Amino acid sequence: MSYKRIFVALDKSPFGQVIFEKAVSLAKQNEAALMLFHSLPIENRTIPPYASVYEGELADFSYLIRQQIETETETVKEWLSNYCTLANEQGVATEYDWKIGEPGRWIRDIAKNWNADLIIVGRRGLTGISEMFLGSVSNYIVHHAHCSILIIQGIEIEEEPGEKV
């Protein structure tokens, strides 16, 4: 089977780099276009404890959240743009998109609207209680996607001292 439009869900972990490389290789083999995608999770917002919320100044809290999202958005745009350039330099027509929120639904919807015939996602290998509480994007995609799915199983990646993968 040949694929022509490959949707690739990426995160900023070292495993995301592996997924990107595999996606580019597969796109080259199939002469396919790539859509790179990243979802900024809404639940991981870290706001300093001095955010003036205790004074009832919700506007300050809202401003800090907006500022953090804008900073993360610029970082993600640059990161995805760099990946896009790398793929284009290898002869793979590539574009990118990003959204804020729950990744599973975004992946499903954008891949369908883009007419992807393959979705590539990674799997961290969560099982049992961890998967139940943290959820599984790959599991959601398997049950809700409109096209074929390639799940790349998490691999051991050497960590830098003090870094968690």
What is the structure's pLDDT at 131?
A: 44
What is the structure's pLDDT at 67?
A: 85
Q: Is 61 left (phi over 0), alpha (psi -120 to 50) or beta?
A: alpha
Tell me the range of 6-15, 57-66, 89-98 where mean pLDDT is highest: 89-98
Average pLDDT value for residue range 15-24: 94
State both tokens at 11.
């995160």
Which of the four pLDDT bands, split at 50, 70 and 90, describes residue 106?
very high
* Residue-range domain boundaries for the chain: 5-43+79-153
In the predicted model, is pLDDT for residue 15 greater than 80? yes
d(CA 87, CA 8): 12
In tens, the pLDDT along 122-159 reads 876 555 554 444 457 888 898 999 999 999 987 544 44
d(CA 46, CA 65): 8
State both tokens at 37.
């995608």
pTM strictly above 0.85: no
Give the rounded percent of residues in the chain with a pLDDT score beyond 90: 53
Q: Name 47's Cβ contacts closer than 8 Å, sequence gap at least 6.
A: 53, 61, 64, 65, 68
The CATH H-level (homologous superfamily) assignment of domain 5-43+79-153 is HUPs (3.40.50.620)
Which of the four pLDDT bands, split at 50, 70 and 90, describes residue 14?
confident
In tens, the pLDDT along 41-58 reads 776 555 555 444 445 555
